[in-house]
Amino acid sequence: MAEQNLFEEVKRHLCSCSADLQITPNLEAVMKMPMRELHVSIPVRMDDGSIRAFSGFRVQYNDALGPTKGGIRFHPDETIDTIRGLAAIMTWKCALHNLPLGGAKGGVICNPKTMSSGEIERLSRAYIQATSHFIGPDRDIPAPDVYTDSEVMAWMMDEYSRIFRKTTFGVITGKPVSLGGSEGREDATARGGWFVIREAAKDFGIVLEGAKVAIQGFGNVGAHAAIIGQEQYSVRVVAVSDSRGGVFAREGLDVPALLEHKKKTGSVMDFPDARNITNEELLALDVDILIPAALENVITIDNASRVKARFIAEFANGPVSGDADALLHARGVPILPDILCNGGGVIVSYLEMVQNFNLDHWERGEVIARLERKMVDAYRAVYNLASGNNVPMRQAGYTIAVGRVVKAMKYRGWV
């Protein structure tokens, strides 16, 4: 099977709503390409004294609604098409959640697991040195993503501030709270996703207490998804997996103990009182809710027929390929799409921006309440459009989001 291209998948989703919105072929062609992108070579001195050049990217997809926003990921398999696809997803995600922001994404081809903390810091600062003219608090605001975290964001913010000789908290979000970060940012993606699941469970007739949940991916988002699901919604997290494999326990996993096990061993595998399984086996488990929370294209046309979950909640970006999406819809398996379900991260990033601009700091309860309102409003809009027109929720979400961007482009006289 040919490898799925995330950017091509996202363009297909755009096509699915073009007829509904009466988008002309010329406008559709414009919206299928990023407005700007930057490719950089980043020389970094390694601990052994050698100099290594890393390839980096920053893509600003569309800024019709406002400054662009999007994470920076460090990953050994990064590609420019993946970054383009993720920047497009961010554009539609911001629009769907009614944020005054466009979409962007950045990345560096590297393997942080084989690098020291000092090497990662030097790479982080060098990335900002190479892109500082391209980003800014009123132009393009990065955030954490795969294999980057609040510490990396602190280094990047500090480097930008050094270059422009003034402390600029607002250039980066996802920072430590003591450096202008927002309360509630660390678990925002997972928490926002659970607000959507809670609403969807009501519409799909699923009682969350005791519901069986499988989580593919046990990084920051997946781990918080397991914690929040178990502690606040009383679900049974029966399976989780990471890059090495997964574990399954029919009566539910002890999530806090599992977190400690992974911290000690580096993987969830071989957890006591659980059976080791593969990622593929996890995706095919008979559960109520399947949460892909890792990377893109994990559910494809090759394995979609084996999915037994009552619905899928995309906590990751692009985890279900277009062909698989159509097959699952035909089978009556609802998908809570990424642009809806994992919008919590960018929403709280936006709230962090607002606090930085106002030199303010909100309590955690206020941040969570604002996040909940945004997530519930977006879910209701998507569900009502999807159910009223008998279309997949992804198509409904794209129709709403693309419509808002098109309207902004027309008002600005771009088209």
User: Is a pLDDT exceeding 60 seen at residue 310?
Assistant: yes
Q: Three-state DSSP class for 173?
A: coil
Report the topology of domain 188-341: Rossmann fold (3.40.50)
Contact predicate 352/259, CB 8 Å? no
Please state, as a whole number, how many other Cβ atoms lie within 10 Å of the Cβ of residue 409.
Answer: 17
User: Is a pLDDT exceeding 70 seen at residue 78?
Assistant: yes
User: Is a pLDDT exceeding 60 seen at residue 2?
Assistant: no
For residues 62-89, give the mean pLDDT.
Answer: 96
Please give the C-alpha separations between residue 402 and each of 303, 346, 376, in angstroms, as whole numbers: 30, 17, 19
Contact predicate 399/20, CB 8 Å? yes
Contact predicate 40/33, CB 8 Å? no
Reported as type and span, the H/E element at residue 335 is: strand 335-336
User: Is a pLDDT exceeding 50 seen at residue 360?
Assistant: yes
Same fold, 33-170 and 188-341: yes
For residues 22-33, give the mean pLDDT.
Answer: 89
- Which member of 11, 69, 93, 105 is catalytic? 105
Please give the C-alpha separations between residue 300 and each of 15, 164, 193, 325, 404, in angstroms, as whole numbers: 19, 46, 22, 8, 30
Calpha distance 318→299 (Å, rounded):
9
User: Is a pLDDT exceeding 60 seen at residue 98?
Assistant: yes
pLDDT of residue 94: 98
Domain ranges in the chain? Answer: 33-170, 188-341
DSSP 73-108: EEETT--HHHHHHHHHHHHHHHHHTT-S-EEEEEEE
Report the mean per-residue pLDDT for the chain. 95
Residues near 92 by Cβ (< 8 Å), separated by ≥ 6?
A: 103, 339, 397, 398, 401, 402, 405
Report the topology of domain 33-170: Rossmann fold (3.40.50)
Reported as type and span, the H/E element at residue 407 is: helix 393-411
Q: What is the pTM of this model?
A: 0.93
User: Is a pLDDT exceeding 60 seen at residue 1?
Assistant: no
Known catalytic membership, residue 308: no
Q: Three-state DSSP class for 23?
A: coil
Per-residue pLDDT reduced to its tens digit, 233-256 = 999 999 999 989 999 999 999 999
